[in-house]
């Protein structure tokens, strides 16, 4: 990239690295300068099967030669039918109706539209630290940092934010944090948004941009109970946690619940833009024809890549690999935590893991997280920060990550921490 190109890109894009990529292969990114980086960012949890998995490349290449854009409300196309069949094999039983869009944010919007149409109720309850996207409605559900909201208000109304059981932040054990958050949710339902006005709860199985905080199963189960009691739609936003990333196919499968709506995107097509919401036929039937749609939604090439991605994830055992490598990763992170007092917490599920940094007084230390993320680049390791307060480094390898790559990643992280803390 030339200097002049850079000046013409909007400053609204915040660059995490100065790297210009030439190509990617598996867990690796190769810059135009010829340097090779172990990519533990996967395009923010997108390239689930690694960069340019041969089966995904082949499926997309073949589809490009057949038809690129077959608008799904005009003519249906085979890749979308095939993807819907494949998703039917992995979605929770009963969620057999699917609507497609392009991005996570659009799918979140579609889920909100559906919940409101189905219940005739206006309000949505989201959880503190959640990230659901950047469109105005999705941003109104997002509290993973003021940068996602500041300066472009008013955002969508009818949204209430309830506490998330962030045990580390409160300095509590998880049981206390869950009991507190459920109690506050009940209080909110009694004082701000009565059940009769509440269309949906929306929650991530692991808070993503908000800090890689696994949602405790007991909390999801508490939401399910309240949703059943009051006829509230339970939407689980699996945009970042779904498609094997947490070591189960869906993040909510670490609990006993079945959501009313599952939202998926990111890892679904290894980098091609496609997203979906899935619900029961009965619930989806509450959306009348024409109420959902979009020019590019369910694109044929993206859908073909989605079919290949699901084939690879299932046939190559990538969910089990994510669980196994996730255990190695978490063990490695816990070992690093015992060496560095600046690491307040090491946590995650599967290949969605994080380190939370604190200063000597135990307060969030965003500067330390940034030093680690930036310092890792010199060690050939790509990481991202996250957290509502910016003090978390997240580690998001591809689901194909090997033993050797995981060891190299942990070694590079260890060297980085020694260099910058």
Residue numbers at the binding site for ligand PMP (CB under 6 A): 44, 103-105, 108, 131-133, 204, 208-209, 237, 239-240, 265
344 in helix, strand or coil?
Answer: strand
Q: What span, in angstroms and rounded, lies between the C-alpha atoms of 303 and 403?
A: 31
Q: Whose Cβ is closer to ligand PMP: residue 233's or residue 343's?
A: 233
How many C-beta atoms lie closer than 10 Å to residue 33's C-beta? Answer: 9
In the complex, minimum distance from the CB of residue 173 to ligand PMP, in angstroms, rounded to a whole number: 26
Q: Whose Cβ is closer to ligand PMP: residue 273's or residue 332's?
A: 273
Q: Whose Cβ is closer to ligand PMP: residue 26's or residue 208's?
A: 208
Q: Which residue is nearest to ligand PMP (CB)?
A: 104
Q: Whose Cβ is closer to ligand PMP: residue 27's or residue 41's?
A: 41
The answer to whether 322 touches 351, Cβ cutoff 8 Å, is yes
Neighbouring residues of 381: CB distance < 8 A, sequence distance ≥ 6 = 37, 38, 40, 409, 412, 413, 416
Residue 314 φ/ψ, nearest 5 degrees: -75, -45
Q: Whose Cβ is closer to ligand PMP: residue 78's or residue 135's?
A: 135
Q: What span, in angstroms and rounded, lies between the C-alpha atoms of 419 and 381?
A: 14
Concatenated DSSP letters of 124-170: EEEETT----SSHHHHHT--S-GGGTTTS----SSEEEE----HHHH
CA distances (Å), origin 142, targets 131, 163, 259, 277? 5, 13, 20, 18
In the complex, minimum distance from the CB of residue 338 to ligand PMP, in angstroms, rounded to a whole number: 30
CA distances (Å), origin 70, targets 73, 296, 308, 374? 9, 9, 19, 42
In the complex, minimum distance from the CB of residue 11 to ligand PMP, in angstroms, rounded to a whole number: 19
In the complex, minimum distance from the CB of residue 2 to ligand PMP, in angstroms, rounded to a whole number: 27
Q: Whose Cβ is closer to ligand PMP: residue 86's or residue 394's?
A: 394
> Quick one: which of 238, 234, 201 has its CA closest to 350?
238
In the complex, minimum distance from the CB of residue 202 to ligand PMP, in angstroms, rounded to a whole number: 9
In the complex, minimum distance from the CB of residue 32 to ligand PMP, in angstroms, rounded to a whole number: 25
In the complex, minimum distance from the CB of residue 43 to ligand PMP, in angstroms, rounded to a whole number: 10
Q: Whose Cβ is closer to ligand PMP: residue 133's or residue 409's?
A: 133
């Amino acid at each position: 990239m030339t200097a002049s190109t850079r000046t013409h890109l909007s400053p609204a894009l915040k660059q995490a690295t100065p790297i210009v990529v030439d190509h990617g292969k598996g867990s690796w990114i190769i810059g135009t300068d010829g340097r090779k980086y172990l990519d533990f960012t996967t395009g923010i949890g997108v390239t689930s099967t690694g960069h340019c998995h041969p089966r995904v490349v082949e499926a997309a290449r073949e589809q490009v030669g057949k038809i690129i854009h077959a608008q799904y409300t005009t003519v249906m196309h085979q890749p979308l039918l095939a993807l819907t069949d494949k998703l039917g094999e992995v979605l929770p039983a009963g969620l057999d109706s699917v609507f497609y869009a392009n991005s996570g944010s659009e799918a979140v919007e579609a889920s909100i539209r559906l919940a409101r149409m189905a219940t005739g109720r206006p309000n949505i309850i989201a959880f503190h630290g959640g990230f659901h996207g950047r469109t105005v409605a999705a941003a109104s559900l997002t509290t993973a940092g003021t940068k996602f909201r500041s300066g472009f208000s008013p955002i969508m109304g009818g949204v209430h934010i309830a506490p998330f059981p962030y045990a580390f932040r409160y300095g509590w054990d998880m049981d206390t944090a869950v009991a507190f958050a459920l109690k506050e949710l009940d209080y909110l339902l009694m004082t701000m948004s009565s059940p009769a006005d509440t269309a949906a709860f929306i929650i991530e199985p692991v808070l993503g941009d908000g800090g890689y905080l696994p949602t405790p199963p007991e909390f999801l189960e508490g939401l399910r109970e309240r949703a059943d009691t009051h006829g509230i739609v339970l939407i689980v936003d699996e945009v970042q946690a779904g498609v094997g990333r947490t070591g189960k196919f869906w993040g909510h499968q670490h609990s006993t619940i079945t959501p009313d709506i599952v939202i998926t995107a990111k890892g679904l097509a290894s980098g091609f833009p496609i997203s979906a919401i899935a619900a029961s036929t009965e619930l989806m039937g509450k959306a009348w024809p024409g109420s959902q749609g979009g020019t590019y939604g369910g694109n044929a090439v993206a859908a073909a890549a989605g079919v290949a991605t699901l084939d690879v994830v299932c046939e190559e055992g990538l969910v089990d690999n994510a669980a196994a490598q996730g255990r190695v990763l978490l063990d490695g992170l816990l070992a690093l935590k015992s060496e560095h007092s600046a690491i307040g917490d090491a946590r995650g599920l599967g290949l969605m893991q994080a380190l939370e940094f604190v200063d000597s007084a135990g307060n969030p230390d965003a500067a330390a997280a940034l030093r680690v993320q930036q310092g890792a680049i010199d060690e050939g390791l790509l990481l991202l920060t996250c957290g509502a307060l910016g003090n978390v480094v997240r580690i998001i390898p591809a689901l194909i990550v090997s033993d050797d790559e995981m060891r190299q990643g942990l070694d590079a992280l260890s060297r980085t921490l020694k260099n910058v803390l």
